[in-house]
Copies of this chain bind each other. A is one copy, B any other.
């Protein structure tokens, strides 16, 4: 849990993770070393797990985005799903979920053919029974990143 100052620091970093500590200090009203101490502490406690780049998938040639719901065979552990999906560079995020499906996977592909190929390969994984997928029409918001780099 964080106090208000920490939240404002995280917010400043969420907007631009390469801002200098002095800049952030100006925004939140602290000196640069004070900001650094707090950021160090936030990293040590695990509230901040790292810094990453924000990319435009289209500019990178990843024009097609979609979500694939995975229905697994019995007795599939989250770890094996993770291990199975990690080999796909097209997979941006994945979570196990409640409901009918077992996992939701976010995929970026260069085009529809590429997406279809990825879908077929994932559907062919030994732990996958069937899939259901939707395509993203337009991304409306994208606020921050959570979790650890994988």
Partner-B contacts on A (CB < 8 A): 1-2, 7, 10, 13-18, 45-57, 59-61, 65-67, 78, 81-82, 85-86, 91-99, 101, 103-104, 108, 134-150
Question: Which residues of chain B have C-beta atoms less than 8 A from A146's C-beta?
Answer: 54-57, 65, 92, 108, 139, 142
CA–CA, A2 and B56, complex, Å: 12
Instruction: Determine the residue in chain B with the shortest Cβ distance to A133.
Output: B99
Docked-complex contact B148 and A142, CB < 8 angstroms = yes
- The verdict on A54 contacting B52 (CB below 8 Å), with A2-B61, A95-B65 known, is yes
Contact assessment for B139 and A95 in the assembled complex, using a CB-CB cutoff below 8 Å: yes
What are 9 sample pairs from A and B whose C-beta atoms fall under 8 A apart? A1-B61, A10-B60, A13-B52, A15-B52, A46-B59, A51-B53, A65-B146, A78-B137, A82-B140
Complex copy number for this chain:
2
Chain B neighbourhood of A15, CB < 8 A: 50, 52, 149
Distance in angstroms between the alpha carbons of A120 and B54 in the assembled complex: 31
Q: Which residues of B contact A147 (CB under 8 A)?
A: 54, 56, 139, 141-142
Name A47's contact: one of B56, B104, B135 (CB within 8 Å).
B56
Q: In the complex where A55-B48, A56-B49, A145-B145 touch, is A135 in contact with B103 (Cβ < 8 A)?
A: no
Q: Identify the closest chain B residue to A54 (Cβ).
A: B50
CB neighbours (8 Å) of A45 from chain B are: 59
Residues of B within 8 A of A150 (CB): 141-143
Shortest CB-to-CB span from A93 to chain B, Å, is: 5
